[in-house]
Amino acid sequence: MGPYKKYGDAWHLAVDQRGTPPLPHSDQGSQSTSEDHLSLLEAAGVPTSMHTVGRCCDYAMKESFWGRLKTECADRPFPSQAAARITLLESIEIWYNRQRRHAALGYLSPDQFDQLACP
């Protein structure tokens, strides 16, 4: 399975669960600037937004998420790739999105915040 197939599947899963984002923000990475990615956004009628090259602070929340994910669940060996996938999926979908309270969201979980912001 190629990287775009995985990305496309993840995009469709996120849209099915949370709806189409009004303006997804991304970095200047190869995934964000690829023809496949831009075509996917265009087909969904979603405009693009990318931060300035060389300005790491433009996407601090994304960097914070990946840093926390690494320290909270990925900094250990896994018995198999399948076990790592299950752990990451549970960490993101159950712990991070549904249970973990975020100071930046008024100590609500992302799911609670979404329900209040977009009833």
pLDDT at residue 50 above 70?
Answer: no
Secondary element (H or E) of residue 61: helix 60-69
pLDDT digits (tens, 9 = 90+) for 18-48: 777 766 666 666 666 677 777 878 887 877 7
Task: Report CA-CA distances (Å) from 24 to 14, 53, 62, 65, 90.
Answer: 12, 17, 12, 16, 23
Secondary element (H or E) of residue 25: strand 25-26
Predicted TM-score (pTM) of the model is 0.50
Give the pLDDT of residue 4: 53
pLDDT band for position 107 (cuts 50, 70, 90): very high
pLDDT digits (tens, 9 = 90+) for 66-79: 788 888 887 788 99
